[in-house]
Structure formats: structure tokens, C-alpha cells
């Protein structure tokens, strides 16, 4: 179905693999378009409850935007390309179902930005993260300066973005960017394990968690948003089921309604 991706769903989890291993899974326009279609499918296909994004082969998650496609772009064309990338990554970030990155090697440039747009990141021990755009006379354009700063803080973000240095999976874990570091062969099983656990929870409540965290705000606005989402849960069947099940000392059976 796709030329640059593999996508297969089993037990409610859609495993999306960017499949250009000879080019370190670099994000060319076709990959962006196909990822957009695959994420649309995650949004709209009721059989899909959650998704994992990973890269093909043992070396790379995604080594960045396809540098070859940058050659000859003018300012307007560059804006258009960044808009396409930012639009896709916004769509991933705001997906109402959990989308996690399973980073299996180099996550550089657009690859690091893509991982940061997922709801959280698991990584293999050989994973490396970096924003090396300054080596090319560039800066990140798919949301990297914003999400990286939000996730790891201003000073670490400044250093990574200005130096172009890579950090290891362990360092990324210390920075709070990666939730779990595991052996390569454990990466997809561990990602599936946490998604299976989340799939047992009330899906509408899970989607409201995503909305609230994405609407994080230091000021009253964030609390007001949470208050509305909390109250909305009270009109769901799942909330009635969850509270009744607890009081009746039985397991809840959520229907996503
Ligand atoms: N865009 C286009 N092609 C890329 C790419 C990218 N971002 N990253 C890797 N490739 C291609 C290489 O050109 C090479 O293609 P070729 O075999 O046709 O020559 C192939 O992938 C393998 O990469 P190579 O550099 O030979 O592998 P390596 O193991 O020596 O190094 C990296 C791996 C990831 C360190 C190195 O490829 C790299 O620095 N990539 C660019 C990272 C980057 O700057 N990303 C930000 C882009 S905005």
C-alpha cells in the first residue's frame, strides 16, 4: 500500500516503519505524505487503538529530512516544506490515540523532531539523538526548536541546537527525553507492552489526557482546560462503568463511549 513505509496492525497496535534503510530512513516528501496518510488511518480506523513509529534496519530511526531535497529551494519553497513537516508533526502530537516513537538508531534532525512529536519515546541502547542542522547552515524547521526546549529545557536545548552534538540514548533518558532504554531486540516488545496496558484504560479519558498535556500552560488557562475535560468525562459511559466497577470490586469493561 505504501512505497516508503510498512504499516501493519495487530491486536489494535499499528506498527509504522519508515522503510528507506539505504538512506537511513531520511524523510523525503514521499515519506512525509505517506506518514500523513498512515496517521490519518490511525485517527479514523476504529480497529487501531494506538501506534508505534520506528525505522527499518539496525542503524537508523530517521537520520533527518532528505538533504538532497533542500538543494535549490528558495525561501517560499522552504516555508512550504516546513509547513508540510510541521503540519504532520502537529497531527501526530494531537492524535487522540497514543502514538509512541521506538527509536532504534540515529534520530537526527527531522528524525529527532518526529520522535519529539510522539507522545513519548522508548529507545534502544544504540540510539543517538541530535539536531545537526547547524552543520548544514540550517536550523530545525519541523518544530524542533520548540518541542526540544519544552522537553529538555532551555540550556540543554541551546547546547544541542548550537553545537549539533549527538547524545546517547542514556543521556537522552537523563535529559527526560526518553522514557525507557532497552536492548534492540526488546524495543518493539516493550513499546507494545506499554500500549497494551494503555489499551485497557478508558479510551476517551486517554484522549483527554493527551489533549490536556498538549494544552499545558503555566497560567490559569491550562487549569481551566483540564477542568472542562475532567467535567466532560462525567457524560461518558466509560466513566460510569469505571467507577461502578471499582465500587463493585470487578474489572472495568470500557467501550470508548
Ligand atoms: N538525507 C539524505 N540522505 C541521507 C541522510 C539525510 N538526512 N542521512 C543519511 N543519508 C544517506 C547517505 O547520503 C548515504 O547515501 P549513499 O549510500 O547513497 O551515499 C546513506 O544514507 C548512508 O549514510 P552514510 O552517511 O554513508 O552512513 P554513516 O553510517 O557513515 O553515517 C549518519 C550515518 C546518520 C551519521 C550520517 O548519514 C549523517 O550525518 N546523516 C545526515 C544527518 C543530518 O544532518 N540530518 C539533518 C538533516 S536536516
> How many whole angstroms separate alpha carbon 96 and alpha carbon 50?
9
Degrees (nearest 5) of the Cα angle 92, 43, 103?
A: 40
- Regarding the beta carbon of 132 and ligand 1, being less than 6 Å apart is answered yes
**Whether 100 contacts 52, CB under 8 Å:** yes
Which of 29-33, 166-170, 215-219, 230-234 has the weakest average pLDDT? 215-219
Instruction: Please state the atom number of ligand 1 nearest to the C-alpha of residue 132.
Output: 44
Measure 237 CA to ligand 1 centroid, in angstroms.
Answer: 50
| Tally of residues, the chain | 257
- Regarding the beta carbon of 63 and ligand 1, being less than 6 Å apart is answered yes
28 DSSP 8-state letter: -
Its pTM stands at 0.97
Instruction: Please state the atom number of ligand 1 nearest to the C-alpha of residue 59.
Output: 29
- Regarding the beta carbon of 23 and ligand 1, being less than 6 Å apart is answered yes
Residue nearest atom 8 in ligand 1 by C-alpha distance: 63
> How many whole angstroms separate alpha carbon 62 and alpha carbon 65?
8
Given the residues 34, 113, 173, 226, the one annotated as active site: 113
Long-range contacts of 79-85 (CB under 8 A, 24+ apart): 81/29, 81/141, 82/141, 82/142, 84/29, 84/32, 85/27, 85/32, 85/110, 85/113, 85/141, 85/142, 85/143
**Whether 25 contacts 57, CB under 8 Å:** yes
The per-residue pLDDT for 218 is 82
In this predicted model, what pLDDT tens digit does every residue of 70-103 receive, in sequence order?
999 999 999 999 999 999 999 999 999 999 999 9
pLDDT, averaged across the chain: 97
- Regarding the beta carbon of 177 and ligand 1, being less than 6 Å apart is answered no
Alpha helices, DSSP H, located in 94-174? 110-117, 144-152, 154-163, 169-174
- Regarding the beta carbon of 55 and ligand 1, being less than 6 Å apart is answered no
Cell of 40: 490519518
Measure 24 CA to ligand 1 centroid, in angstroms.
Answer: 6
133 is catalytic: yes
Residue nearest atom 41 in ligand 1 by C-alpha distance: 63
Measure 58 CA to ligand 1 centroid, in angstroms.
Answer: 14
In this predicted model, what pLDDT tens digit does every residue of 177-194 receive, in sequence order?
999 999 999 999 999 999
Beta strands in 2-88 (DSSP E): 5-10, 13-18, 50-55, 60-62
The per-residue pLDDT for 168 is 98
Residue nearest atom 10 in ligand 1 by C-alpha distance: 23
The per-residue pLDDT for 125 is 98
- State the pLDDT confidence band at 4, using cuts at 50, 70 and 90: very high
Amino acid at each position: 500500500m505504501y512505497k516508503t513505509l510498512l504499516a501493519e496492525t495487530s491486536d489494535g497496535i499499528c506498527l509504522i516503519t519508515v522503510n528507506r534503510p539505504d538512506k537511513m530512513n531520511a524523510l523525503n516528501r514521499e515519506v512525509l505524505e505517506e506518514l500523513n496518510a498512515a496517521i490519518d488511518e490511525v485517527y479514523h480506523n476504529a480497529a487501531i487503538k494506538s501506534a508505534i513509529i520506528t525505522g527499518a534496519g539496525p542503524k537508523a530511526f530517521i537520520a533527518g529530512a532528505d538533504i538532497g531535497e533542500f538543494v535549490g529551494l528558495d525561501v517560499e519553497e522552504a516555508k512550504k516544506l516546513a509547513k508540510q513537516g510541521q503540519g504532520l508533526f502537529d497531527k501526530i502530537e494531537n492524535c487522540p490515540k497514543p502514538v509512541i516513537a521506538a527509536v532504534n538508531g540515529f534520530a537526527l534532525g527531522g528524525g529527532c523532531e518526529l520522535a519529539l512529536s510522539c507522545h513519548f519515546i522508548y529507545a534502544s541502547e544504540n540510539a543517538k539523538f541530535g539536531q545537526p542542522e547547524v552543520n548544514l547552515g540550517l536550523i530545525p524547521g519541523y518544530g524542533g526548536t520548540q518541542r526540544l526546549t519544552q522537553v529538555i529545557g532551555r540550556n540543554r536545548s541551546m547546547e544541542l541546537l548550537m553545537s549539533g552534538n549527538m547524545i546517547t540514548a542514556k543521556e537522552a533518558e537523563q535529559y527526560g527525553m526518553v522514557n525507557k532504554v532497552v536492548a534492540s531486540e526488546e524495543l518493539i516488545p516493550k513499546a507494545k507492552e506499554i500500549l497494551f496496558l494503555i489499551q485497557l484504560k478508558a479510551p476517551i479519558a486517554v484522549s483527554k489526557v493527551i489533549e490536556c498535556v498538549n494544552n499545558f500552560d503555566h497560567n490559569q488557562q491550562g487549569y481551566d482546560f483540564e477542568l472542562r475535560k475532567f467535567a466532560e468525562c462525567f457524560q461518558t459511559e466509560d466513566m460510569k462503568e469505571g467507577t461502578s466497577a471499582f465500587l463493585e470490586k470487578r474489572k472495568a469493561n470500557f467501550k470508548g463511549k
